[in-house]
Amino acid sequence: MKVTIKDIARLAGVSSATVSKILNNNDQHISEKTRRRVLKVIEENNYNPNSVAKGLRMKQSKMIGFVLPDIRNPFFPEIAKGIEDVAKQKGFGVLLCNTDNDFTKEEECFKFLTSYMIDGIIFTRSLKRSNVEKFIKSGVPMVLVDRDLEIEEEVGKIFIDAQKAVYDSTKKLIDYGCKRIAFISAKHISSNERYIGYKEALNSNGLVIDEKLIYLEDYNVETGYRGVNEIISSTSCKVDGVVCGNDLIAVGAIKAFDEKNIQIPNEVKIIGFDDIYLSQYLNPPLTTIHQPAYEFGKEAATMLIDHIENEVPLYTKELEYKLIIRGTV
């Protein structure tokens, strides 16, 4: 029969919350006597002895977690590479956990990672603000990547100004003469600033926001493909520009226009977001916002490990983006 955290708590004569705090290195206010008693029960009952008991003795597991929403999107493995390069240099391992943009899986990932006594988490694009807040309150140090979320608790942040980046993308299409500009993106929390940037660009340049030109679903190829087909079928006016929430959406949009024999960039211009390595090899090559994904990973890992090992305070850092002009405008 599998031993649970409740069993450990009962045998040690403490609450499950106390056991959890010890497992998560959040035991500053727990006496050494209690901590040792819980440790002894864990070892005697073979409760995850390799990953937990060793970490308890050392007070550090030398492991950090990276929670990402979609491992199929090349943007996130590039962040992971930056994280792993720094972690390896500093003697840390990295556990990757893919959520498939599902908040239930997100919670499962966190439980899995904390069961391994990780020293900290790098987190990107949560579906739910409450999830992020709950994880932070657990006491595990956290760095958020690719989003700037207003949170009172101490948390690290590495991001670009996505709102301004999409404003610049939309303004670029307007400068090229586009007047019917669609916006295709995700409906996740982390895409809100991109949506705001799109609307601000239209408003400040005298263009009307038409809800029929907006399609919000997910950060994948299918969203771009379905979005273009739905927008074209629902509006009598010709679309002459598309701002995409990421490059995968742009890939789907390009395919949809190609099937309808709508020429890019002569009849419609497209701008993506992320600058994944495949973007330059599309036909035509994709104009997109370059996010420094590898640098995201390096900066996040450096900040988190410095905090874990040297108690350096977590901080906020905004990195630079760049609009890369290629063949779709």
The CATH code of the domain that includes 26 is: 1.10.260.40
Q: In the listed set 41, 58, 75, which residue is the last one of a domain according to the structure?
A: 58
C-beta of residue 94 within 8 angstroms of C-beta of residue 37:
no
142 and 43 part of one domain: no
Instruction: Give me the pLDDT at residue 315, please.
Output: 93
In whole angstroms, what is the distance from residue 100 CA to residue 67 CA? 10
Q: Using one digit for the tens of pLDDT, what is the confidence trace for 258-297? A: 999 999 999 999 999 999 999 999 999 999 999 999 999 9
DSSP state at residue 259: H
Q: In this structure, is residue 77 part of a structural domain?
A: yes
138 and 186 part of one domain: no
Question: The tokens 């390799």 sit on which residue?
Answer: 50
222 and 301 part of one domain: no
pLDDT score of 189 more than 90? no
Instruction: Give me the pLDDT at residue 169, please.
Output: 98
Q: In this structure, is residue 152 part of a structural domain?
A: yes
Q: Using one digit for the tens of pLDDT, what is the confidence trace for 13-72? A: 998 888 877 876 667 778 889 988 988 888 888 776 444 444 444 457 789 999 999 999
40 and 118 part of one domain: no
296 and 286 part of one domain: no
**3-state DSSP call for residue 23?**
helix
122 and 224 part of one domain: no
What domain range is 99 assigned to?
A: 63-160+292-320
219 and 301 part of one domain: no
238 and 195 part of one domain: yes
In whole angstroms, what is the distance from residue 299 CA to residue 161 CA? 16
Q: In this structure, is residue 326 part of a structural domain?
A: no
Q: What backbone phi and psi angles, to 5 degrees, belong to 69?
A: -85, -25
The CATH code of the domain that includes 122 is: 3.40.50.2300
Q: In this structure, is residue 325 part of a structural domain?
A: no
Confidence of residue 196 (pLDDT cuts 50, 70, 90): very high
In whole angstroms, what is the distance from residue 324 CA to residue 288 CA? 5
Tally DSSP H helices, then E strands, for the chain: 12, 12
Does the predicted model carry a pTM greater than 0.85?
no
pLDDT score of 3 more than 80? no
Q: Using one digit for the tens of pLDDT, what is the confidence trace for 88-147? A: 999 999 999 999 888 888 888 888 887 777 899 999 876 566 667 777 777 789 999 987
Q: Using one digit for the tens of pLDDT, what is the confidence trace for 138-181? A: 778 999 998 766 666 688 999 999 999 999 999 999 999 999 99
2-10 mean pLDDT: 82
